[in-house]
Structures are given as structure tokens and as C-alpha cells.
Amino acid sequence: MALALRHRSLLTKLYIAMGVVALPLLLLQPLYVLPAIRAQLEEDRSRGLRQVVETAYGVLETYEARVRAGELTTAQAQTEAARLLQQLRYGRVEYFWINDLSTRLVMHPYLPAMLGKDLTGYRDADGKAVFVDIVKLARDKGEGFIPYLATRPGETTPLPKESYVKLFAPWGWVVGTGVYVEDIDKEMLGLQQRLLLAVCATLVLALLVGAAFSRAVVKPVRGLAAAARSVEKGDFSVTVPVQSQDELGKLGHAFNTMVYGVRDMVKGLADVAIATVADADRIRRSADALSKATREQSDQLQQLAESVQQMSRGLSQDAEQALTTAEVAASNGRMAEEGGDAVKHASRKISEIVEVVQKSEEMVVRLQTSGAAVAQMLQLIQDVSNETNVLAVNTAIEAARAGEHGKGFGVVANEVRKLAHRSREAVEQIEHLLKKNQEDTSNAAALMRQGTLRVEEGMQLSSTTAEALSRIVTGTREIHLRVGQLAVDGARQSSSGETIAERIKTLSNNSLEAVQGVNHIAQAVVDLHAQAQQLWALAARFSPEHREPKGAEKS
């Protein structure tokens, strides 16, 4: 039933609600109101019968009091009391009767022929011994109700009747009266008809009022429904007229406010959707550019790692060559030391020649012999000079390859080359002197002093050469140390280069992972772009003036 009511109109539901309200009123009459009224009438009827019997009983008490007062005899009092009660009426037609305890009828206004007779054999239409039961009730209880069938005066149809009887003990009389149940039924029928008419009139009035009220309610509601359908189609210019300040008026005002708010909200959603689509496009382009740049950076890092590895291998080779150079420098140092010793020895020999020249000219032959030895030593010095020159050239090459660290070596190499050049010149001069000495042996005496001077010069040159060789040895040692240090530094740099290469590879791998993350971001931005376009489509359904944003790509 609830499902069926969902498809009914509001007006039908209101009518059904009024019918549901009216149905208990209709059912309340036969089920509660009328039975309650009937019970109340029966109770009133019983109370009324008791009261009228009490009235008749009071009449008998009055005459009994006159008998006790001596005003009347008992017979006179009974006669007058019976005559008075026979004339009494209530309800226009209702009467009293009197019978005694021997079931003899004493007074009855409508049965004069049966007065003084024994009514023990009297039966009603159902065969009930009415007076016998009346006497029995009076003897047992003194008073009470008794139902039976009786006919109305002048009629022959027996009807249900209920009487109330009470015993007047001083005279042995039982006075009673009764009413027909039909009267109560007729009264109930009239009352039921009046109630039904009142209820029907009330229902008709309620239906009219309810119809007017329901139409007054349904019409604004239908207007709200029509406006809501217009809003559903995207028309936010519709408004509901507010003609009252009741709940419907408040509902209409709230609906108008809601439409204004929804219109502003949809407009804002459309603007946000357009901005989101544009931002999504920009983010996607930025993500693509970032992905491309990150991928290029990863490739460059890989190339840099390979270059660093190659540089590390080159540094390793340079370190090995530096170690070889250090060994060569050490060998040259030893040779320079030997040359220094030879120069010192030559210096001592020259000193001896000076002494010989100074002592005697006879020592010329020995001088020639010594000159041959000097020639040999000069040849050795020339060889040392040549080797020193080669060492200086190699040192200059290594200094040039060492860059900033080899500038000092370059200066040393230049000085060594100069020394070697001067030594070679000195050797050439000494050779010239020796040749001249051999040619001028015959003139040796005359030229002894001049030879002595030249020998002294040679001695000075030997000292200079010794000093130069000493400096060469010192420089060679320093070159050996520095080249060894360069070899160690080169090995360390080679190891550091390997470590840097590994770190660059790690950075390259991280860059690849960053590329994947950027790709995920780009995919998320694509999804955001599609969702923003869906949001714009929903907003555009309610806002036709919003056009698709420029530059938005279709997903």
C-alpha cells in the first residue's frame, strides 16, 4: 500500500488522509458512541423507573401515615391510594399497577376485568408466569427489575417490557411500573439518525474545507514542482511567487534562495572547471617538458658517468706513467750524483795541474797525460750534460702535462737546460784548450802562466758545474718526490673518479625513476583533465552561457 501511495498525487494523498481520519468517526458511532448512549439510556430508564416507583411508594406511605394518625382506616386508605395511583401517568401513557403477595391484582388501569383475581396462572407470550415472578422477587429482595412481554393498551402485539416493582410491607402490596424496550430502540434509532446526519454534515464540511485547504496547499506545491523541473532542465531564472508567511511561504522563499545559491554555485563550478581544464593542460605540458628534461638529464648523467670512468682510467694510466717518471728521475739523480763525483775528482786533478804548472815546466809531459785524462773526463761531462739536457726536456714535458702543479718543475727544467748548455760550452772550451795545449807543448813554458790562468778558469767552471750538478741532484730528488706525490694523487683521484662515476650512475637511475614518477603525474593530470571536463559538462548543463574553454584538449 505504501508503494501504491508513492505514485499518487499530493491531493489524492490528502483526500485519503481525510478519509482515514473520517473512517474512525464513522466506525466510532456503532462501535462505541451508540452502545454507550444506549447503556446510558438504559441506566437512565432504570433510574427513572426506580424514581417513579419510589414516588408511588411515597403515596402509599402517606396514606399509611394517615392510618397511623387515625384519619383514615386501612381500607379507606387503600381505596384512596389505589384510586390515586390509577389516575397517575408519566411519559403521557405510562402507568402503575398493584398486586398483593397472594398474586391477586389489586389495581391496574387497563385490566379492570381482572381486578381481585388470582393471577398465578397468568402467562406472557413466552409462557412466563409474570406475577408469580413478581411476588417471588418482592418476597426475596423487596424490590427489583423484571423483564417480560406485554401488549400496549389497545394493541395485540406483545413487546419486550421491563418493569420495576417494590413491596409495601405494611399492606402486603407490590407496586410496580414498566417501560417498553421498543421505546428505547425508537429513541436510539432517532438519535443514531441525528448523529449520522451530524457526522455526515461534518464530513461534508470537512471535505469542503479540506479540499479548499488541500488545493491551497497543493497549488503552491505544484508550482514548486514545476519550478524544480525547470531548474532540473537548467533554467535558473525561474522563481516561485511567495503569497503567504506560513510554512509554504517559507518553503517558497527557501526554494528561491536555494535557486539563487545553486545558480551562483553552478556558475562558480563552471568557472572552476574551466580553470581546472586550463591548469590541467598547463600542468600536463609542464609535466611532459619536465619528463623530457629529466630523461635528457638522465642520458647526460649516463654520458658523464662514462666520461668520468674514462677520465678515471686516464688518471690511473697517468699515475702509472708518473711512477715510471719518478723512477727515471731517481735514476737520473743517481747519474747526476756520479757526475758530481766525477766533477769533484776533475776539480782535484785540475788543482794538481795548477800546482804542477806552478812548480815546473818539466811537468808538461805529465800535463799532456793529465790533459788526456781531462779530455776523457770532459767527454764524460759532455755525456752528463747531454743526459742532463734530455732530463731537462723530459722534466719540462712532464711539467707541461702536470699543468699548474708542474710550473715549478718547468722552471727547474729550464735552469737545468741552461746549465747543461753552459757545461757543454765549457767542455768545448776545455777541449779547445787541450788541443791548443797539445799543439803548443813546445811553447808551454812561455805560456804556462796563461795556461795556469785558463786552468784556474776551468777549475772555476768545474766548481760551477759541480754546484749545478748538485742543484740538479736536489731538483731531481724534488721531482722524484713530487712526481711520486702526483702518482699517489693520481691514484687517489682515479679512485675518487670511480666513486663519482658510481654516484653519477645512481643519480642517473634516480633520474629514470623521476621520469617514471613524472609519467605517473602526467597520467594523473590527464585523468584530472578528463574529470574537469566532465565537471564542466555538468555545470554547462545548468549554465548554457558557459562555453567550452579555449585550448582544452579532448581527452
Check whether 341 has a pLDDT greater than 80: no
Average pLDDT over residues 512-534: 74
Q: Which domains does the chain have, with CATH numbers?
A: 9-201 (3.30.450.20), 313-505 (1.10.287)
Hey, CA dihedral for 523, 529, 532, 534, is it positive or negative? negative
Q: Which pLDDT tens digit goes with each residue over 139-167?
A: 999 999 999 998 887 788 889 999 999 99
Check whether 132 has a pLDDT greater than 80: yes
Q: Picking from 103-117, 190-204, 471-485, which range would have the lowest pLDDT averaged per residue? A: 471-485
User: Which range, 115-129, 238-252, 278-292, 335-349, is most confident?
Assistant: 115-129
Q: Mean of the per-residue pLDDT values for the chain?
A: 76
Q: Which pLDDT tens digit goes with each residue over 371-397?
A: 677 677 767 777 877 887 787 788 778
| Band of pLDDT at residue 521, cut at 50, 70 and 90 | confident
Spatial separation of the C-alpha atoms in residues 484 and 492, rounded to whole Å: 12
Q: Which residues pair with 176 in a beta bridge?
A: 97, 165
pLDDT for the residue numbered 68 = 95
Closest CA to 106 of 82, 73, 77, 76: 82
pLDDT for the residue numbered 444 = 57
Q: Which pLDDT tens digit goes with each residue over 307-317?
A: 767 766 766 67
Check whether 551 has a pLDDT greater than 60: no
Spatial separation of the C-alpha atoms in residues 115 and 105, rounded to whole Å: 5
Backbone angles phi, psi at 97, to 5 degrees: -140, 165
Closest CA to 381 of 475, 436, 461: 461
**What's the whole-model pTM score?**
0.37
Q: One-letter amino acid identity for 252?
A: G
Spatial separation of the C-alpha atoms in residues 173 and 98, rounded to whole Å: 6
What angle in degrees, to the nearest 10, is found between the helix axes of 364-402 and 407-439? 160
Is 117 or 421 the better-scoring residue by pLDDT?
117
Closest CA to 392 of 471, 317, 481, 324: 471
Q: Which pLDDT tens digit goes with each residue over 220-233?
A: 777 777 777 777 77
For 240, residues 6+ apart whose C-beta sits below 8 A from its C-beta are 220, 223, 224, 227, 252, 255, 256
Q: Which residues pair with 100 in a beta bridge?
A: 173
Average pLDDT over residues 469-495: 69
Cβ 466 vs Cβ 358: under 8 Å? no
In 387-438, which ranges are E strands? Answer: none
How much of the chain, in percent, has pLDDT values that exceed 90?
A: 19
Q: Which pLDDT tens digit goes with each residue over 188-224?
A: 777 777 877 877 787 778 777 766 766 666 677 777 7
Q: One-letter amino acid identity for 425?
A: E
In 187-253, which ranges are E strands? Answer: none
User: Which range, 174-178, 496-500, 503-507, 540-544, is most confident?
Assistant: 174-178
Hey, CA dihedral for 152, 158, 161, 166, is it positive or negative? positive
Average pLDDT over residues 229-242: 75
Helices (H) and strands (E) in the chain, counts: 10, 5
Cβ 137 vs Cβ 165: under 8 Å? yes
pLDDT for the residue numbered 374 = 67
pLDDT for the residue numbered 129 = 94
pLDDT for the residue numbered 555 = 44
Q: One-letter amino acid identity for 280?
A: A
Run of H or E residues at 167: strand 158-168
